[in-house]
Structure 1
Amino acid sequence: MMGWVDRIPMPVVRTIGVLEVLGAAGLILPPLTGIAAWLAVAAAVGLALIQVGGIVVHLSRNEARLIGLNITLLAAAAAAAWLGTTWL
């Protein structure tokens, strides 16, 4: 279903998955615990960078029609990073 997975080495695919899970935890846990709230901003920036990478991969494969979700997630991550810097 995801054609890009066939062209990228499996360790890279797994690393992307781990980074996404860590990013999600980084968005949720620091604000909930009140410990190291700056980590939420770092997680949001990291997730935004992952989406930029996803857009680049889709465009390099001539899959421009598939970047809608990446753009939406990029906007959400950028908003989370911006809100994290203004509310800290």
Structure 2
Amino acid sequence: MNIAYWTVAGLLALFYSYSGAMKVLRSRDRLRPMMAWVDRMPLPAVRALGTVELLGAAGLILPPLTGIAPWLALTAAIGFVLLQTGAIAVHLTGEDRRITLNVVLITTAALLTWPATTWL
């Protein structure tokens, strides 16, 4: 169970660390080619989403690794399910209807909730 958790959590943490860092650091013009929805949201909201992704990535890895508040791993996984649910809604209400990646991410985060209960 631990190997499954660390493999999936590591991959999700890498993805969300990269995605979150891009949203926090890059300009709207540099984000637009990858994320068509950024024109429909205020830049502070995009930056906030990036910050949430960075914190969630840390929440998947650091609490179980250090043993400090390990229940945060489950909270982070559930948070990513909710985040991707909102992302799918944003994609479907706009011009960009590509949600394949979002479906994969929501499924992966949902599956991660079960091994994350190991530390409860």
TM-score, with structure 2 as normaliser? 0.68
Q: How far apart are 1:82 and its partner, in Å?
A: 2.0
Which residue is equivalent to 2:24? Answer: none
Per-residue CA deviation, residues 15-63 of structure 1 (Å, 9 max, x unaligned), is 0000000000000001111111100000111111111111001100143
Q: Between Structure 1 and Structure 2, how many residues are aligned?
A: 86
Q: Does 1:61 align with 2:94?
A: yes
**Is there any run of 5+ residues in structure 1 with no aligned partner, and where?**
none
**Is there any run of 5+ residues in structure 2 with no aligned partner, and where?**
1-32
- Aligned-pair Cα RMSD in Å: 1.1
Structure 2 counterpart of 1:70, from 72, 97, 102: 102
| Structural mapping, 1:9-88, within 5 Å | 9-64=42-97, 66-85=98-117, 87-88=118-119
Q: After the TM superposition, which parts of structure 1 deviate over 3 Å for at least 4 consecutive aligned residues?
A: none
TM-score, with structure 1 as normaliser? 0.90
Aligned residue for 1:35, secondary structure, equals coil
